[in-house]
Structure 1
Amino acid sequence: MRDHSGDEARRLKLYAYLDAREHRRTYLAIMRLFASTLLADLSAGEVSAALARAERRGEVPPGEARVETVIVRLKQLVDWGNLVAGRREVVASSIAEFQHGSVRYQVSKLGVRVQRAADELLRTAEGAREVSRELLPAIVAGLDEVLVRLARASLEHARDPRSPAAQRAIERLAEQVTTLFLQHGELAATVRDFYAYLGQVVTRYHLVTEEISGFRNLLVEYIQMVVEDVLRHTPTIAEVLTRVEFASAVRELLRLLTPAGSLGADIERARGRRLEDWTELTDWFVDRPGRPSQVTALREATARAIGTLLATVKRATSGGGPEPGRRAELLTLATWFDQATPDQAHVLAAAAFGLYSARNLLPAPEHDADDERTPWADGPVLDVTVSVRGRGDRGARGRTSRILDDPLGREQLLAEARRNDARHADALAELADARGRLDRVTLSPDALDTLCGLLTDAMAQRERTTDPGESGDPLGGLRLVVRPEPGHTQTIRTHAGVLQLQDTAVVVTPLEAGA
């Protein structure tokens, strides 16, 4: 059983030199040298001479043209599978010359494919690629011509397979089949490249006015012509490919184009010489159950692209709703970052995105240990809700939960509220009884809490520390006055300790009616 995973790993190593962290330019120069000539058979010295010329032009780094360095690079390419090492007899005057001249290097078939694809990728423009829609009528005519030439070749082959007329008919049939598949391959490649470019553009959220205008013409005018040509010619092509007699015609064609002698199992046949090639051609134009054709995918992609463009135009020209975007501002900010020094970039990031130092604005959690010297990193963890972590706000998300009727819980809350009201009333009564002798009584915890609340409100009313302040509880009929009194210390005793207010007098009196 063949190890497909091992074969796949071996083939993927052919791309290693394109992503090499070091010496990538040298590897590219060497592979271009081997791929530029048919049956290239070069020694390390010949490669070194070619790299020396490239080094003078600045195409490779200095020092890479030395023979010792070139040998290391060539051996690495051999290990990756891009080159194949061989030997031939040479006349040499020294061992070093023999080593440099006897070892010859040739490029492998897959290595040529990789280098050719890399050069094509580097030459490809970033913009859209024009769809070769003129190939559609050529494919229609090519299918008809294939059937005509197939009938003629079958007739001549039946008369005399070795006659010159039969050989010429088969050659003309092979020419037409090759032309047909080259046309279809070019059409499929241009359609795939064009819609790949279109997909990366229309999915952008922000487009400037010039881009919207250009893409509008591209979608509404150009794609409309492409889709119209596809819809006009596809039914004819699909009708030919789905004929019952077409399957038998393909089998006859494959029989005639199969060479008499075996080419070997590893020979890659030209397109159109295998049944899989014709199946792929049919699947491109004809829908099958559960497998839509590429023509159907093209129509759906066009509809999605036009819909996305219309949504983009609506979003950019709408007067209401959220802002269309801040693309121009972000580009300006990016320019500032590019021109800023590291220190300025930190300040700019803090001002633009609020990336200040960490701050915790919540009250400190209760300390749950006796060791007050525990570092904060080793202390208790404060849970942060998902909305705060992900979106930076505490607003609720989703629909509001339905309120359930809980009579028992409602009664418990009402009872708790009544108990709190009773405790508050008792605290007010205790403070009312202590008026005039606040420094001679011991207050309960509830009375102290009420007194502290009134005291806080009274102090908040003062503009200066030398001004008096007052607060009151209208429902309890109690008023508290705080006034400065130098030399006097107000003492308030509680079960938990003693509170002393220096240079201050606190007076509790009944609240006047109507106040």
Structure 2
Amino acid sequence: MIPHEYAHLAGVTSPIRVCTRHRFRSGGAGMVPPMASDAPAGQAADEARRLKLYAYLDAREHRRTYLWIMRLFASTLLADLSAGEVSAALSPAERRGDIAAGESRVENVITRLKQLVEWGNLVAGRREVVASSIAEFQHGSVRYQVSKLGVRVQRDVDELLRTTEGAREVSRELLPAIAAGLDELLARLSRASHEHGRDPHSDTAAKAVERMAEQVTTLFLQHGELAATVRDFYAYLGQVVTRYHLASAEISGFRNLLVEYIQMVVEDVLRYTPTIAEILTRDEFSGATTHLLRLLTPSGSLGRDVERARGRAAADWRELTDWFVDRPGRPSQVTALREATARAIGTLLATVKRATSGGGPEPGRRAELLTLAKWFDESTQDQAHTLAAAAFGLHPARHISPAPEHDGDDEQTPWADGPAVDVLVTVRSRGERTRGRTSRILDNPLGREQLLAEARNADARHAAAVAELASSGGRLDGVTLSADALGTLCGLLTDAMAQRERPTDEGAAVDPVGGLTLRLTPRTGNTAVIHTSGGRLEIQDTAVEFSTSHV
């Protein structure tokens, strides 16, 4: 209730009870439907709206405050908090120094809550309050709840912050559980179909459906956990195989990873996945899952806009099947896992071998380079110059080439903060400055004979084209040239025209192989016409003459 002395501020003359309704952003009965638009534009807008849910994680200011507020809302079911309650909850964090000073003040909390509402992480609403002042009414009547997508984002964020960067153990024990669960589910579904066909409303049929729902949920939870652990483990494995150098303390761990753990994972996959794939590809299993979906999804039970548990849609079962079963043009995840394991084992073996052998017959230089870097870090400027000269031989008197182009650095920038220089693998591992030997030229008799045959064929075609031009007697307007003869003629025309500095000059070109000479003579009013199998070539104000000579 608002006290009587404050009632005139609300535009009334008697005590009132203020109750405002929630304002819904989307969905719900009685809402005005959105305007029709093309699907891609609507999908892009929905993606942009959802991606704004992550904005508070990369906020330039007050990121810690946003995190504490979202953790507060995500830690309680059906959290319904006012700005004052959030402010009181943030006070201990401010005293500990977890958030900046002043962030627990109500006016700052209101600003942060409104920003989270704008991003979509929170939803604002109102409820009845009993207040003794307008300020208390304003702070208490506006309530905030976390949105469904907002709590999911915060849950993923907290899980990510808790996750270590090391390898994640693959839940291998779930493979036999999935195989046994599928087999039992198929048998139970066969019995339940018989009971449901006799009396679908009996207690026995209802208990059978409930038991199958439990098995389906367990099955997909097991598969989801297995798929997640496999993805995380192989992501870590891909991160490891990209490393060129391994520390001595890491070598034994990676050996165990190769010899023991990966082998166990692959053995379990090879042992259990054929059984799972065989069950999923049975003809009876396809019909059984269709009947199972009808039993587990009664019409009109939860409505359309509800995110159902996995296993209640045909797409879920297709995804499960695709994880274990190969299809034409699309290998399964099991096949991809085996291929990735083979590549990872080969790469890790090469990495461990390189790390233990020093990269070649000579000892590796990694330890020496690290020691040298430590000396540079601990030395003064004069000592660093002396150390560089002693280590690399970079004495000033030995620089006889021009100075290199300035890289934009200055003498005030420490070497550790300057631009990085790529070091060759041979220098890094063996201390060698050579870039490797020249590759051998391989002898290919078959390729050589093929090239010789092609050259002989080209020479024969060229000789035939020269003979065809020579047989015309210098009068090209009376013959029709072949494609090879036209090519040879065009080459001679190009050379002859290139010799003329002005259009009124003469030009000549000689074919050194066939002894054919072409001469171009300027002649006003004369048009040289050349007929070919592909058309007719006309050269204006020019006379074309041929002559042959034996060379």
1:156 paired with 2:195, answer: yes
> Which of 230, 250, 261 is the aligned partner of 2:300?
261
Query: Matched residue of 1:302: which SS?
Result: helix
Larger Rg: 1
Query: Matched residue of 2:293: which SS?
Result: helix
- Distance verdict in 2 for CA 1:198–1:354, change over 3 Å: farther
1:82 paired with 2:140, answer: no
Paired with 1:216 and 1:278, the residues of 2 have a C-alpha distance of 38
Paired with 1:151 and 1:320, the residues of 2 have a C-alpha distance of 62
Residue pair 1:230, 1:295 contacting (<8 A) in 2 also: yes
Between stretches 305-314 and 105-114, larger displacement belongs to 305-314
Give CA deviations for 1:324-364 in whole Å, capped at 9, x if unaligned. Answer: 754434544665677689x799979987899999x99459x
- Distance verdict in 2 for CA 1:70–1:216, change over 3 Å: same
Residue pair 1:206, 1:325 contacting (<8 A) in 2 also: no
Residues 408-419 of structure 1: pairs in structure 2 closer than 5 A: none
Q: Which amino acid aligns with 1:268?
A: E
Paired with 2:271 and 2:436, the residues of 1 have a C-alpha distance of 55
Match of 2:182 in 1: 143
Query: Matched residue of 1:272: which SS?
Result: coil
Paired with 2:392 and 2:171, the residues of 1 have a C-alpha distance of 48
> Which of 221, 225, 229 is the aligned partner of 1:186?
225
1:235 paired with 2:274, answer: yes
1:152: how far off? 2.6
Match of 2:323 in 1: 284
Match of 2:172 in 1: 133
Match of 1:60 in 2: 99
Give CA deviations for 1:93-131 in whole Å, capped at 9, x if unaligned. Answer: 222111111110000011111100010011111111111
Match of 1:14 in 2: 53
Q: Which amino acid aligns with 1:243?
A: R
1:226 paired with 2:270, answer: no
Q: Matched residues, percent identical?
A: 79
> Which of 164, 177, 183 is the aligned partner of 2:216?
177
The alignment's TM-score, normalised by the length of structure 1, stands at: 0.66
1:153: how far off? 2.5
Q: What are structure 1's unaligned runs of at least 5 residues?
A: 364-388, 402-515
- Distance verdict in 2 for CA 1:263–1:205, change over 3 Å: same
Query: Matched residue of 1:106: which SS?
Result: strand
Paired with 1:179 and 1:266, the residues of 2 have a C-alpha distance of 24
Paired with 1:329 and 1:31, the residues of 2 have a C-alpha distance of 49
Q: Which amino acid aligns with 2:161?
A: L
Residue pair 1:206, 1:324 contacting (<8 A) in 2 also: no
- Distance verdict in 2 for CA 1:224–1:203, change over 3 Å: same
Paired with 2:49 and 2:358, the residues of 1 have a C-alpha distance of 58
Q: Which amino acid aligns with 1:89?
A: E
1:165 paired with 2:195, answer: no
Paired with 1:110 and 1:338, the residues of 2 have a C-alpha distance of 49
1:157: how far off? 2.2
> Which of 285, 294, 311 is the aligned partner of 1:272?
311
1:208: how far off? 2.3
Residue pair 1:43, 1:104 contacting (<8 A) in 2 also: yes
Paired with 1:249 and 1:272, the residues of 2 have a C-alpha distance of 13
Paired with 1:46 and 1:349, the residues of 2 have a C-alpha distance of 63
Paired with 1:209 and 1:394, the residues of 2 have a C-alpha distance of 27
> Which of 283, 287, 293 is the aligned partner of 1:244?
283
Give CA deviations for 1:423-451 in whole Å, capped at 9, x if unaligned. Answer: xxxxxxxxxxxxxxxxxxxxxxxxxxxxx
1:397: how far off? 11
Paired with 1:354 and 1:85, the residues of 2 have a C-alpha distance of 70
1:155: how far off? 2.2
Superposition RMSD on alpha carbons, in Å? 3.4
Match of 1:203 in 2: 242
Aligned residue pairs, count: 376
Residue pair 2:82, 2:142 contacting (<8 A) in 1 also: yes
Between stretches 81-90 and 348-357, larger displacement belongs to 348-357
Q: What are structure 2's unaligned runs of at least 5 residues?
A: 1-37, 404-421, 425-432, 442-551
Residue pair 1:316, 1:324 contacting (<8 A) in 2 also: no
Residues 70-469 of structure 1: pairs in structure 2 closer than 5 A: 70-318=109-357, 321=360, 326-332=365-371, 361-362=401-402
Q: Which amino acid aligns with 1:143?
A: L
Paired with 2:337 and 2:76, the residues of 1 have a C-alpha distance of 39
1:270: how far off? 0.5
Match of 1:476 in 2: none
Between stretches 36-45 and 265-274, larger displacement belongs to 265-274
Paired with 2:137 and 2:395, the residues of 1 have a C-alpha distance of 68
Q: Which amino acid aligns with 1:282?
A: T
Paired with 1:120 and 1:311, the residues of 2 have a C-alpha distance of 34
Give CA deviations for 1:158-191 in whole Å, capped at 9, x if unaligned. Answer: 2232222221111100000000011111111111
Residue pair 2:376, 2:384 contacting (<8 A) in 1 also: no
Q: Which amino acid aligns with 2:265?
A: V
Q: Which amino acid aligns with 2:136?
A: E
Paired with 2:395 and 2:64, the residues of 1 have a C-alpha distance of 43
Paired with 1:394 and 1:361, the residues of 2 have a C-alpha distance of 20
1:40 paired with 2:79, answer: yes
Paired with 1:173 and 1:146, the residues of 2 have a C-alpha distance of 7
Q: Which amino acid aligns with 1:145?
A: E
Query: Matched residue of 2:56: which SS?
Result: helix
Paired with 2:364 and 2:265, the residues of 1 have a C-alpha distance of 32
Query: Matched residue of 2:100: which SS?
Result: coil
Match of 1:28 in 2: 67
